Amino acid sequence: MQYDSCPTIAPFLGYMGVAASIVFANVGAAAGTARAGTGIMQSGIKSPELVWRNLIPIVMAGVNGIYGLITSIVILGSISAPVDGGYNQYSLYTGCAHLAAGLCCGLSGLGSGLCIGIAGDAAIMACGAYSKLFVAMVLVQVFAGNIALYGLIASIILSQQTYYCGGQ
């Protein structure tokens, strides 16, 4: 007997949460890396000795992709396959929670990556002209990266929201 709270579409929502988490977070990481990377190369023409110091935005953007991977693994570990007879224990409630978790982490990572790239590019140029702005650059990057961290924490909390359907 199949319960209304456990339709066969429910695991699809969970897998969409997995995809949203990894895709959006990595698009943010790629966009941030591309934007900050071009800034590093441009500033490297005038100040090649600052290239290694200016890699902080690249590292910070890359962490966003790791957050998406962590969330995807947590969600994947919670998606259950149908048991014998085709009965699905994975509920619509759980599928929606996992979709929300994936979107939360992925879109936070996307926003954070864009912020890191734009602010990092400007900070790299500013540090090339005035090296005392390095500490300010690091602080801006940390606060921009915190956006993705908040999304990761919220997604882990959301991914723990589960409801299992009753017996067969």
Packing angle, helices 92-129 and 56-76, rounded to 10: 170
Architecture of domain 10-159: Up-down Bundle (1.20)
Evaluate whether 41 touches 54 at the Cβ level (below 8 Å): no
**Three-state DSSP class for residue 167:** coil
Beta-bridge partner residues of 90: 164
Record the pTM: 0.88
Evaluate whether 92 touches 13 at the Cβ level (below 8 Å): yes
Evaluate whether 148 touches 25 at the Cβ level (below 8 Å): yes
Evaluate whether 152 touches 108 at the Cβ level (below 8 Å): yes
Domain boundaries, the chain: 10-159
Q: Which residue has the higher pLDDT, 68 or 10?
A: 68
Chain segment 35-69, per-residue pLDDT in tens? 999 988 888 888 788 788 888 999 999 999 999 99
Chain segment 124-142, per-residue pLDDT in tens? 888 878 888 889 889 999 9
Q: Is the pLDDT of residue 76 over 50?
A: yes
